[in-house]
Structure 1
Amino acid sequence: MRHRLPAVALATALALSGCGLESANTSAPQAAPAGIEPVPGAEGAEVVVGTKNFTEALLLGKVAVIALQAAGFDVTDRSGIPGAAPARAAMLDGEVEVQWEYTGTGWLNYLAMPEGIPDRQEQYEAVRDADLANGLTWLPPAPANNTYAFAVRSEAVGELGGIDALSDIAALPVEERTFCVESEFATRSDGFEPMLEAYGIPLGDPQGVPRENVSVLDTGAVYTATDNGLCNFGEVFTTDGRIPALDLTVLADDRAFFPAYNVAPVVLTETLEQHPAIADVFARITPLLTDDVLQRLNARIDVDGEDPADVALDWLVNEGLVAPA
């Protein structure tokens, strides 16, 4: 979901991208101020909001557009940038001024650091401090942490001895240690094999996880296969709407293997200096964005087929942040 790229591929893509972005094909509905109040001096001030082209990014992009418009800014909506590298390039080139991003993505992919930081606050502070040199300011992140995880169908939790954490897998019979993963995760240096090593059940070991116990599938198929019982443990993203829709239970990463991927607004430092109230607008929004909230909102789009802009407006209205226009 976060469209991660190896550092070399990212650098190549950055060199080839960053110009000629077009406005989104769909527009965000107008809203009136409520909890988010008009900002003095915002009227007529132009702000460009960009997003990558996947469900959660489009949803959060519309949240930003509607909220900033309610605050009085003249917002250009450039939702749906095709991929992480062009989205990053758009910010570095100044074509996009505001964009949601994930702390782990910024640290590992954009800044090419060798390993992530599991502690959420430490990861945020590290990427915030490092990216200032690129003219980007990371505002405080949301509680939502869209990181990797493994889930099990809820009806099987009891059958597997009440399993609730990844470390519990080692106590299961080898034949029950079955996994569904996507190909990219299966080969990452911070992915499947290192995770199994960290939890003491190495891949390819007859007493760990035999290779025949692993199914490599497309991302969407992992969720369905896990729900259907093809495997006991499926690789998921923790804010994905298919988790509640399919009644999957996410296992705790009790050895803190996976890096933090909290979502945060990123603003061009120059823009933020001109309009510091942008930070105040997001300060009303980000504390409300939890894993559960994003799961529900993502499900309304991916499962129920609703439009991201409509879901964004409905949520902002229900939270009292804006009012229908």
Structure 2
Amino acid sequence: MPRTARACAPAALLSLVLLLAGCGNSTLTSPDASGGLLAHRADLRAASYVVGGGPTTALRLLCQMTIAAVQAANGTAEDECGKVAAVDVHGSPQESDVDTGWASLRTTMPDGTPAPDGQLPPTATPLATLRATDAPRGVAWLDPTAFDGADVVVTRPGVAADLPALAALTATRPTTLCATTDAVPGSPVAPGTAALLAGYRFAPTVVPQDAGSVLAGVATGRCTAGLVPGESGRVPALGLAVLADPRGVLVGPAGPRGFAPVMRQGVLAGHPGVADLFGEITRRLDGPAMRGMVREVEVDGRDPRDVARRWLVAEGLVAKA
């Protein structure tokens, strides 16, 4: 080989390595999250967690938040966000290695697992009942998010400021409520509408539809208002307004239906401080924050990992993500 060729070979080889590292499904990842408030809330050195997610965008976002939170507190976390945490945590360690994750209290059955096909159970299971049922099984439930997970009524801006004002429209003009057929239980026609009638005397013409059709109908004016899941990312994407529910009729007598961390009791006992990390997240995560992040993923096409970490940094929970 000529001298010049031998001299160029190492440089060419290095260039090829760098090129291959940037192509395909590289195993290289960005640095772990660090710093911020969570770094001072718990010391998870030597702690390791396998974190599960769920089938929905909201649960995948929460899974990614958990991973970043653990890393910020000097622990390690393995990404299993494709698994349904509530199912895997309830399985035996021989069946699943998932230690922790989140569950939607809206769709959780009394046995602590998600309702089949994501459908709502006839009545929401109170958190206290889930804790009492799962404690003998070695499963712990922590406090849920500030976002209560209830369905919301949305309108175009300027139609009404809150549900009492919307109900007043019923007496003055024809009003149409488009509602998802799996909304809060209450009515065989469109679940949830019975609660609005009882709480606000809101008695519109009800048109049951899928969530996408409901939101499109409200945005175009075909529907005066829409009853949709509270975490819907298309609500901010379409510029719709969420109406205040001052009487809390959509939350229902069972109380909050938000998202709660669920984990194996042995894992929690090993490092109880991890509950403080979850607490910092759940106290801050309200409806607008959840809808905004879901919008970024479902409408803008962004990676749940990046979206979750940006929110943590914006809240000061993590300094570097």
Q: Mark the CA change 1:264 to 1:28 in structure 2 (over 3 Å): closer, same or farther.
A: farther
Residue 64 of structure 2 is matched in structure 1 by 62
Q: Mark the CA change 1:303 to 1:89 in structure 2 (over 3 Å): closer, same or farther.
A: closer
Q: Does 1:277 align with 2:273?
A: yes
Matched to 2:177, the amino acid is F
**SS of equivalent residue, structure 1 residue 99:** strand
Map of 1:84-123 to 2, 5 A cutoff?
87-93=85-91, 94=93, 95=96, 96-106=98-108, 110=112, 115-116=123-124, 123=126
Residue 146 of structure 1 is matched in structure 2 by 149
Taking only the aligned residue pairs, the percentage that are identical comes to 29
Matched to 2:178, the amino acid is C
**Conserved in 1, the CA contact under 8 Å of 2:44 and 2:70?**
no
- Name stretches of at least 5 consecutive residues in structure 2 with no aligned partner: 1-26, 116-120
Residue 296 of structure 1 is matched in structure 2 by 292
**SS of equivalent residue, structure 2 residue 108:** helix
TM-score (norm 2): 0.73
Q: Does 1:32 align with 2:38?
A: no
**SS of equivalent residue, structure 1 residue 184:** coil
Matched to 2:133, the amino acid is A
Q: Mark the CA change 1:222 to 1:274 in structure 2 (over 3 Å): closer, same or farther.
A: same
1:233-280 alpha-carbon deviations (Å, 9 max, x no partner): 212122322222222222344362433312221111111012212112
Shift of 1:195: 3.6
Residue 256 of structure 1 is matched in structure 2 by 249
Q: Mark the CA change 1:174 to 1:196 in structure 2 (over 3 Å): closer, same or farther.
A: farther
Q: Distance in 2 between matches of 1:109 and 1:235?
A: 28
Q: Does 1:182 align with 2:180?
A: yes
Shift of 1:231: 1.0
1:53-94 alpha-carbon deviations (Å, 9 max, x no partner): 22211111101011112222221111133xxxx543211114
| Residues matched between the structures, number | 277
Residue 222 of structure 1 is matched in structure 2 by 214
Matched to 1:88, the amino acid is A
Matched to 2:67, the amino acid is V
Q: Mark the CA change 1:28 to 1:142 in structure 2 (over 3 Å): closer, same or farther.
A: farther
Q: Distance in 1 between matches of 2:194 and 2:187?
A: 11
Considering only aligned residues, what root-mean-square deviation do their CA atoms show, in Å? 3.3
1:186-234 alpha-carbon deviations (Å, 9 max, x no partner): 9x55675564334448xxxxx955xxx4433322222122111111121
Q: Mark the CA change 1:276 to 1:104 in structure 2 (over 3 Å): closer, same or farther.
A: same
Q: Distance in 2 between matches of 1:58 and 1:255?
A: 27
Q: Mark the CA change 1:110 to 1:242 in structure 2 (over 3 Å): closer, same or farther.
A: same
**Conserved in 1, the CA contact under 8 Å of 2:186 and 2:192?**
no
Shift of 1:290: 1.4
Shift of 1:28: 7.7
Shift of 1:27: 7.0
**Conserved in 1, the CA contact under 8 Å of 2:86 and 2:102?**
no
Q: Name which of structure 1's ranges 166-175 and 65-74 shifts more when overlaid on structure 2.
A: 166-175
Shift of 1:175: 6.2
Q: Distance in 1 between matches of 2:195 and 2:43?
A: 52
Q: Does 1:75 align with 2:68?
A: no
Q: Distance in 1 between matches of 2:147 and 2:288?
A: 8
**Conserved in 2, the CA contact under 8 Å of 1:185 and 1:192?**
no
Q: Distance in 2 between matches of 1:256 and 1:175?
A: 23
**SS of equivalent residue, structure 1 residue 179:** strand
Matched to 1:132, the amino acid is A
Q: Mark the CA change 1:294 to 1:97 in structure 2 (over 3 Å): closer, same or farther.
A: same
Q: Distance in 1 between matches of 2:195 and 2:277?
A: 41
Q: Distance in 1 between matches of 2:193 and 2:162?
A: 16
Q: Distance in 2 between matches of 1:138 and 1:321?
A: 22
**Conserved in 2, the CA contact under 8 Å of 1:150 and 1:250?**
yes
Q: Distance in 1 between matches of 2:107 and 2:170?
A: 33
Residue 20 of structure 2 is matched in structure 1 by none
Residue 320 of structure 2 is matched in structure 1 by 324
**Match of residue 133, structure 1, among 136, 142, 146:** 136
**Conserved in 1, the CA contact under 8 Å of 2:234 and 2:295?**
yes
Matched to 2:75, the amino acid is F
